[in-house]
């Protein structure tokens, strides 16, 4: 009887361990990743992201921290020159989010030619990077290239639809009369 009880107890422990494993593993795995550097649409199920474009993982906290610092320099302090240096120091010029923010910073500093180079670099790294299509479209509006800006708007619509913040922002810029000299 003791032998039977021992086997039954071992079997029960094994079943409990099997049932608990699927619950325990995802909880542990979900805990360490830093937030994505920039909000972007979820990747399409049919297209895998390039490894250089994946959000940083636990092993890449220096990149994530540096990116967040540069992001804050841009959006919180409007310190575009410092942000450019911080982003370049990351050594990830092939990352669409990094190249896009460098382009954005140069645009805000009024260096449109260099800004364009960085936007094109971002789109080369990830042709589906919605934020780059938005910012480059705003660049087009500022340059008076409304047809090109409309192309960018259509590209955003095809990627994420017309309800996204990126689409609404560029559409609002295109609704303004040409030649108003507005900078976005």
Cα–Cα dist 55/35, whole Å: 8
| Residue-wise pLDDT tens digits, 49-98 | 444 445 545 447 888 999 999 999 999 999 999 999 999 999 998 999 99
Summarize the confidence of residues 95-117 as an average pLDDT: 97
Spell out the alpha helix ranges (H) of the chain: 2-29, 61-75, 80-89, 96-108, 112-125, 130-142, 146-160, 165-175
Q: How many CB atoms lie within 10 A of CB 40?
A: 21
- Nearest Cα to Cα of residue 136 among 95, 86, 99: 99
Dihedral (Cα; 112, 114, 115, 117), 10-degree rounding = 130
Mean pLDDT of the chain: 78
CB 97 within 8 A of CB 129: yes
- Name the residue with tokens 């009887």: 1
| Residue-wise pLDDT tens digits, 14-24 | 544 545 544 43
At a CB cut-off of 8 Å and minimum separation 6, what does 94 contact?
52, 125
pLDDT (0 to 100) of residue 39: 42
Angle subtended at Cα 173 by Cα 170 and Cα 176, rounded to the nearest 5 degrees:
150
pLDDT (0 to 100) of residue 19: 52
């Amino acid at each position: 009887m003791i032998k039977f009880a021992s086997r039954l107890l071992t079997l029960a422990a094994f079943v409990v361990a099997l049932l608990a494993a699927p619950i325990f593993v995802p909880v542990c795995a979900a805990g360490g990743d830093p937030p994505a550097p920039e909000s972007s649409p979820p990747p399409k199920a049919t297209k895998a992201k390039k490894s250089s474009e994946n959000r940083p993982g636990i092993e890449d906290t220096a990149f994530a921290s540096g990116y967040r610092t540069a992001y804050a320099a841009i959006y919180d302090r409007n310190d575009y020159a410092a942000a450019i240096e911080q982003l370049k120091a990351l050594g990830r010029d092939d990352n669409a989010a990094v190249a896009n923010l460098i382009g954005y910073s140069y645009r805000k500093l009024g260096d449109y030619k260099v800004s364009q180079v960085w936007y094109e670099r971002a789109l080369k790294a990830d042709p589906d990077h919605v934020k780059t299509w938005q910012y480059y479209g705003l660049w087009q509006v500022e340059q008076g290239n409304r047809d090109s800006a409309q192309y960018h708007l259509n590209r955003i619509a095809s990627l994420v639809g017309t309800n996204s913040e990126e689409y609404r922002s560029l559409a609002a810029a295109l609704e303004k009369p040409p030649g108003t000299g507005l900078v976005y």
